[in-house]
Structure formats: structure tokens, C-alpha cells
Amino acid sequence: MKYREDIRNVAIIAHVDHGKTTLVDELLKQSDTLDGHTQLQERAMDSNAIESERGITILAKNTAVDYKGTRINILDTPGHADFGGEVERIMKMVDGVVLVVDAYEGTMPQTRFVLKKALEQKVTPIVVVNKIDKPSARPEHVVDEVLELFIELGADDDQLDFPVIYASALNGTSSDSDNPEDQEPTMAPIFDQIIEHVPAPVDNSDEPLQFQVSLLDYNDYVGRIGIGRVFRGTMKVGDQVALMKLDGSVKNFRVTKIFGFFGLQRVEINEAKAGDLIAVSGMEDIFVGETVADVANQEALPILHIDEPTLQMTFLVNNSPFAGREGKYVTSRKIEERLMSELQTDVSLRVEPIGPDSWTVSGRGELHLSILIENMRREGYELQVSRPEVIEREIEGVKCEPFERVQIDTPEEYMGSVIESLSLRKGEMQDMIHTGNGQIRLIFLAPARGLIGYTTEFLSMTRGYGIMHHTFDQYLPMIQGTIGGRHQGALVSIDTGKATTYSIMSIEERGTVFVEPTTDVYEGMIIGENNRDNDLTVNITRAKQMTNVRSANKDQTSVIKKAKILTLEESLEFLNDDEYCEVTPESIRLRKQILNKNEREKASKKRKVAE
């Protein structure tokens, strides 16, 4: 069998923040790819504005580097489980993975998640222990943890025989030794292990074509772009090919453009052979998992499995009293067009219309959906969204709900309250590990609906010292009764106008205020959180009565507490079933679904009678 020794296809996988994207930057810098004039910005692969701000990778991206005459195609994958659909499909495109693990944190929930996907596809692993320069690094323990995780996930003997490289991606150093003193200012050990260890693709370019789409991109000029790997044969610009659709139908089309990847650029090429990772345009309705084959030899590759959504929200046209003030796109037609265009590239998303002005949008988690909302508001859209809900499923006649694996690192003093709070949310403790320095690691299996809105409570409970990561584990039989949810009621404005310092002072003792003086408010808008568990209607627009009688103690200068301004994620976590979050390019407001106080009370009574 012939192999293409001049190519290697690898994916870089890791938990969030363990340094994948920084490592790709260094590999780019230290290869023979970029010319001397190219200035790389930090985390150059995270090109999207939200990715740059949050320091996370949302979309998988490919690049290619040349090293000693070998082309190495590198895919930088997301670490968040919400974007796990991307990771799974990428494993089909590569022959090896570089697993990056933090030299202090060790294996984390998403390390487990991404490694499981890699081992299932039988790809060859290489382990990079990153951040070796940290004073708290514990490389030996981390390598043991990685080995245990490999064994636990059922790795075979070949996969267990993985090489380990110790590196500091930030400093651009690496070495085969776990002693930080031995670090050298080069990434050569990583490149050498990739070339030596990762199998070269089979060269069967003289056989009939088979190309499978693993990722989608969209471009206003050429429409949909299918990104994937040529598994067999050769594809040339101008070729007539057959697109094998997921529903079994076949469409013929002509390849108009083929792009290869090199450095940070997409480069137009005329032909691609077996083993190449390319992007192809010319097909209007190409979808992930479909096979492009030779017209005379229509053989489809196995369909790619895509993780189903586990969380859904209702998106609505904004109908608040302030609707249309700040947004550029406010109509249902514009919102629907935008959601449909998102479906062009995001295969883990589902959109179903449920009325003329509302849609059910389902995704892989809170982060997945909140990033879509954040993107929309930045583009000038105005909309309302409901509280996130988990998607229930019936499996073999049993009603099931999604459960998540939760890993918590916290100082020991907060351990009791964390265990108690997660038990109340029906979490079951699986493991407890003392990691030293008064720190403890807790592993739970908890229903996903119990974790909606838990982050804020968790951070205040651990005074901000706790770190929590959770990732979808499996569907299990549903737990009866309500789980989680907000314990406190809301402070709701009874009037429309501007918030005044005078009224905020009188409301402060009732709870936490979310708005600052002079903010525009409307009747039914939530302006804070009540200290008690019931909703309280308050007047936040009342001004101080001016009289000509001077008081004996003169007016003291009014000092009010700083308002707690909620981010988009915090606002979504705060929501109850009878509330909406109004999102515009300039504001995030919380409101009751029924704005009028009397009508709200009537509806609440009706609900209680019905129950």
C-alpha cells in the first residue's frame, strides 16, 4: 500500500484554557510557513470577536504548516462541550491528535470528552504537557492521570504507547524531559513526534473519488463551502461530481473552486488528492456528513454522527414598550432569515417556528445558545428569549433527561456548602480527590436542568475561588419534581419613566438593584432581585418632593450602592418561566411576560387553580 509521506493530518484537542490555540500560534511561528514580514497577533486562530474577548475557541479552524518538507495540516478544535459536535466530526478528518494537558490542572471534564471522541475513531495520540513553567506544575502526576484516563476510556495497546512532550506554548519552548530547566526555545520535539508517530495518509489517488464534508463555512460570494478530507481519488476544478445526500438522493454538480489551507490563508488550488484537507464550493445545499463521489462510482462514506441538542429556548420578536428603539433588524422576517443563515454552518443547532413571531431554538448548552444571541445583538438584531429548558427524550418507553458530569475544584472550607447545594439540585457525588494545598476536587453526576442558573450561586458560595466545569454525559431516567431554579423573587417596576436615585435608595433594603439612576424603565420590567422568594412591585421612578421648608438636618448627600449590571449569561440564568430577556444591540433587559400587575396576578391565580 502506498502512503503520502509528505503529509500529516492532526487535530489539537484539550480542555478549555489548557493552551491549544496558543500552541498552534507557536507551531505556525516556528515552522517554515510564514514569511518574515507576517506579524502574528496573540491567539491568531481565534478570529471571531467573541472568541478573542473570551479567550475561547468556538469554531474549529484549520491551518497547515511546512516542516522539513512535510505538510502538517492542523485543526484547532473547541474545548467546550457545547461545541463538541465540531470535535467529533474533526476526528474523522485526521490520523492523529495532539492532546494538550495543563501541567497543574491535569485531566478535566472536557479532556475526557475530547479524548473519548478521539479514541473512538482510533486515531494515534501524542500528549503535550503544557504550562510546564508554572511554579505549581506537577508533570509526573499529570502524566499518570492521563494514562489512567486512557485506560478508563478503553484505549488499546497501541494508543497507550503515546509519546509525551513537555512544553510552555506561551514561551515557545518544549523538550522531552519533565524538568523545566531542560526546556529549549523550539517546538521541534512536537513536530518530530507528529512526523514520526502520526500515520501518513494512504495514497489511493488513482481510485474513484470520495470526499466527505465535516465542517461548513458560508461566504456571500460563493455560498456554502464544504470543508473536509479527500479519502480516495483526486478532485480537480471543473470536474463533474455526484453529491450523495443524507436522504439517499444524488445531485450532480461541477466543482467551481477548491481551496487548500496554508498558514492563516485559504489558497485556491486546482486539484486535491487523497489525504488532503480542502474546502470546496459550487454546491448550494451541501450538508455535513455528505459524500462527494465520482459520477460513475457513487459510493457514500458512512454518515457522520452529530450530537443532538440538549437545551432549547424560545426566541421571540421584541414586543416590549421599548421595542424598535435600538435595533436595526426587528421584524420576524429578519430574525428568521438570520436564524436560517446560522443553520447553514452550525449543524448542532435546530430552529422550529412555533408561531408567526416565535421560534424554538435548540442547541448543545447555555454557552452555545448565548453566543448565538450575543452574535445577533452585535449585528444589530433586537429580540426576546425565554428561560432555557432541557430537551427530554423517550428512550425505550422511559422518559429521560440529560445528565452532566460536573467537576469542581474548590478550597476545602467551601466543600460542605457545595456538596449540599448540588445535592439539593439532585447531583450525585461520584468522587472526591484531595489535590493538595487545601484544595479539593469533587466529581458529580447531575441533571442538566439542576445546573441551569447554578453558576452565580456557586461563585458566591465559594467567594469566587471555586472553579466549575461540566459536560454532557448521558440521558438517564427523569427525576420527578422541580429541580434548581431561582430561590428569590424579582423586583418589578410598576411605572414607566426614568429610575431616580431617591427611589433606588428606598428600594435598596428590599433587595439587589440591577439598574442605575436615569435608566429608562417600563411597567413590568425587572429592576432587581428581591431578598424574599416572592415578586415585589416597586416604584423606581418617583422623584423627591421639593418643598420650601428646610429640614433641621439638611439634605445629606445621597449615596447608593453600585447597581449589579447583569451580563447576558447571568440574565439568562436569572430568568424564571414567566419572564423574558429582552436583547438589543445596546441593552439587556429582564421583564415579566405579562407587564401589567393586575393581569399578572390574575394569570398567577389561574395557574394555581389549574395545578
Give me the residues paired with residue 530 across strands: 511
The amino acid present at 558, given as its one-letter code, is: S
Per DSSP, the three-state class of 487 is coil
What lies within 8 Å, CB to CB, of 343 at 6+ separation is 349, 351
Question: Length of the chain, please?
Answer: 611
Specify the pLDDT at position 38: 41
What are the distances in angstroms from CA 254 to CA 287, 293, 572? 16, 12, 45
pLDDT of amino acid 583: 92
Three-state DSSP at 592 gives strand
Summarised one tens digit per residue, pLDDT across range 532-546 is: 888 889 898 888 776
Whole-angstrom distance, CA of residue 591 vs CA of residue 126: 50
Between the CA atoms of 500, 503, 509 and 513, what dihedral angle is there, to the nearest 10 degrees?
A: -30
| 334 assigned binding-site residue | no
Residue 596 marked ligand-binding: no
pLDDT for the residue 581 = 93
273 is in an annotated binding site: no
18 is in an annotated binding site: yes
Number of H helices, E strands in the chain: 15, 35
Find, among 212, 213, 234, the residue nearest to 299 by Cα: 212
- State the Cα–Cα distance between residues 318 and 229, nearest whole angstrom: 43
Amino acid 538 reads V
Residue 519 is labelled as binding a ligand: no
DSSP 206-241: TSPPEEEEEEEEEETTTEEEEEEEEEESEEETT-EE
The residue type of 100 is: V
Q: What is the pLDDT of residue 547?
A: 61
> Is residue 200 a contact partner of residue 5, using CB atoms and an 8 Å limit?
yes
Q: How many other CB atoms are found less than 10 A from the CB of residue 239?
A: 17
CA 147 remoteness from chain centre: 27
Q: Distance between CA 165 and CA 193 in Å, rounded?
A: 9
Alpha carbon separation from 42 to 19, 130, 190 (Å, rounded): 12, 17, 20
pLDDT in tens, 581-608: 999 999 999 999 988 888 888 888 888 7
pLDDT value for 84: 56
Question: What is the Cα–Cα distance from 1 to 169, expressed in whole angstroms?
Answer: 37
pLDDT at site 31 = 65
Q: Where do the DSSP E strands lie in 417-524?
A: 428-436, 439-447, 467-477, 490-493, 497-498, 511-513, 520-521
- Look at the block and give the residue holding cell 435608566: 519
In the numeric block, the cell 432549547 is attached to: 312
Which positions ≥6 away from 214 have C-beta within 8 Å?
Answer: 89, 90, 92, 93, 227, 228, 229, 288, 289, 304
Q: Is 327 annotated as a binding residue?
A: no
**What domains does the chain contain, in order, with CATH numbers?**
7-197 (3.40.50.300), 210-294 (2.40.30.10), 311-390 (3.30.70.870), 393-477 (3.30.70.240), 490-544+557-610 (2.40.50.250)
CB contact at 8 A, 491 and 536: yes
Torsion (CA) 425, 431, 435, 439 in degrees, nearest 10: 20
Q: Distance between CA atoms of 387 and 432, rounded to whole angstroms?
A: 32
Distance CA 452, CA 503 (A): 32
Burial class (CB in 10 A: 0-12, 13-18, 19+), 314: middle
Structure-block grid coordinates of residue 123: 486515531
Closest among 590, 580, 604 to 522, alpha carbons compared: 590
CA–CA separation, 507 vs 528, rounded Å? 9
Of 248, 245, 236, 224, the closest CA to residue 292 belongs to 245
Rounded-to-integer distance, Cα 415 and Cα 461, Å? 10
Work out whether the CA dihedral 20, 24, 29, 32 comes out positive or negative: positive
DSSP H or E run through 1? none
* Residue 19 annotated in ligand binding: yes
DSSP 534: S
Q: What is the pLDDT of residue 353?
A: 92
Is the Cβ–Cβ distance between 149 and 125 less than 8 Å?
no
Residue in 145, 165, 216, 135 with CA at minimum distance from that of residue 26: 165
Among candidate residues 189, 187, 182, 195, the one with its CA nearest the CA of residue 170? 187
- Alpha-carbon gap, residue 387 to 391, rounded angstroms: 13
Intervals of the chain under pLDDT 50: 33-60, 79-82, 554-555
In whole angstroms, what is the distance from residue 400 CA to residue 474 CA? 10
- The answer to whether 2 is a known ligand-binding residue is no
SS3 128: strand
Contacts of 257 (CB under 8 A, 6+ apart): 222, 237, 268, 280, 281, 282
487 is in an annotated binding site: no
- The reply to whether 21 sits in an annotated binding site is yes
